[in-house]
Amino acid sequence: MISIPGDFVPTVRPESEWKAYPEDSISYYIITELQGLDFGTLKSILGLDESELASKLAALADMGVIEPPPGYKVRDFAVRESLLPPLDSGDEILLNAEVDISPERREEIIRLHKVINSISSMDLFSLKTGYTTSEVTTAYKNLTKRFHPDRYYGKELGPYKTLLEEIFDVINKSYSDLLSGASSSPTPEQIAYQPTIQATAAQLMTPQSGRKSVREEIKSKISADSSTMAIASVSSRAVGSSKKIDKDTDSSETGESESPDHGLVRSNVRRRGLSLRDILSKAVAKNKEKADFHFYEGKKALNEGNYAAAASHFKVAMTFDQSNMEIRSAYEVAANKAGELSAQYYAQKAKLEWDLGHRDEAANFQMVAVELNRKEEYLLVAAEMLVELRRFAQAKELAEEAALQNPSGRGQLMLAKVYIAAEKYHRAVSTLEEYLRYHPDDSEAKLLLSVAKGNI
């Protein structure tokens, strides 16, 4: 989480410098209605905790919409970050792999690879309807500079080599598909209605051909969608913060003074003919509707066996109805199933890489499978790979975990193999003798015991 001082005031940059437009209502509201308020005041008014608001501001900074918070380094992702899934615990192994790629680029590669087979070609190339051949070519060159494996020639890529190759295969296919549907020149709609990032601020702010300016469209969107105003209570915490603003009376009626910041918010609310109480009640109803919708879609995906989609829907539903235990339980079931499938995928990739002789990459993929699903089978395979790579400490930990999971299983045998490979023969002998008490007919264990005793 980035740390933002309470007195930091987000400064909106000229729209001609924006790399993308915000897509969520909270961000729209911050840049159109709450300009000039500091971080602490925004946190209180919006009912968000510090990490949530910091993430929103960081995303706006990445899009070039606001000046970056102090100490924050803007992330330059080739594909719009809102389209990429977040990292999870299973990605830690890849993130920490010993490769010659910057941490920021590692994150981008991992997150894009997760959706590379489901993201649309237009989203991958950041194109709008009516795109031209020139725009496709420019986008392709930019993606090539970022994701072509040869871009990292001579560098240690480890498991990222496979990820980059798979990403670039899709980029190439998308390039061909997009070229076949591109026009050679901008359409009239593009010229009249779709100002690009390179357009001047004056063009963006001036209505064209009877169409509203970008800023006017943003404000219309907010006014038309009551859920946008409901950002004042994304959660019940907003109810507490709302006490700072008189719900139904003006400060002139009570004789009490009110801060200029809260007065600004109240005037914005009253200009729309809404009281804060109206907003809060509509927010609750709207959030319930959204939670029900995503819960329904999640159950449908779960019945179809699409566990990743189900988990995604349930997770969204949980954000709108955090106290609903039925949704939380369904999410855990779907997430576990999705984890199992992901683990199978990485285990298969590990076997393929191992068979091809790419031992380090295979071990890294198998460790990802272990992080996603720590069942005995994956632990033993990973331990065996690590022994081959002479990474005995890691192999020992995995073998011991497998032995604890299943005392009568093959974890003890794997542990003995680790000891023999590490030339710790006395430990190997005692481990194998204990194992043979329960498996007296195991020929492999007997052979290993004779090898261990022969080296003492």
Q: How far is CA 114 from CA 195, 340, 346, in A?
A: 31, 15, 12
Residue 286: both structure tokens together: 């709207």
Which residues on neighbouring strands pair with residue 183, listed in sequence order?
A: 132
Helix axes 392-405, 376-388, angle to 10 degrees: 160
Q: Whole-prediction pTM value?
A: 0.40
Distance CA 261, CA 38 (A): 9
Percent of the chain with pLDDT over 70: 74
Residue 443 host element (H or E) = helix 443-454
Query: Based on the number of CB atoms within 10 Å of its own CB, is 298 exposed (0-12), middle (13-18) or buried (19 or more)?
Result: buried
pLDDT value of position 363? 92
Please state the rounded mean pLDDT for residues 51-79. Answer: 80
- The 10s digit of each residue's pLDDT in 85-108 is 878 877 888 888 888 888 888 888
The span from the first CA to the last CA of the chain, in angstroms, equals 53
- The 10s digit of each residue's pLDDT in 201-223 is 333 334 444 444 444 554 454 44
- The 10s digit of each residue's pLDDT in 382-397 is 999 999 999 999 999 9
Distance CA 432, CA 450 (A): 10
Least confident of 99-103, 264-268, 313-317: 264-268
Asked if the model's pLDDT at residue 44 lies above 60, the reply is yes
**Res. 249 pLDDT band, cuts 50 70 90:** very low
Q: Is the dihedral of CA 41, 47, 50, 53 positive or negative?
A: negative
| Average of per-residue pLDDT values in the chain | 76
Asked if the model's pLDDT at residue 309 lies above 50, the reply is yes
pLDDT value of position 251? 40
Reference 20, options 73, 96, 98, 77; nearest CA is 77
**Res. 424 pLDDT band, cuts 50 70 90:** very high
Distance CA 144, CA 172 (A): 9
pLDDT value of position 400? 92
- The 10s digit of each residue's pLDDT in 185-205 is 444 433 343 333 333 333 333
Distance CA 214, CA 200 (A): 12
Asked if the model's pLDDT at residue 68 lies above 90, the reply is no
Question: Rounded to an integer, what is the distance from CA 43 to the centroid of its chain?
Answer: 23
- The 10s digit of each residue's pLDDT in 48-58 is 778 878 888 88
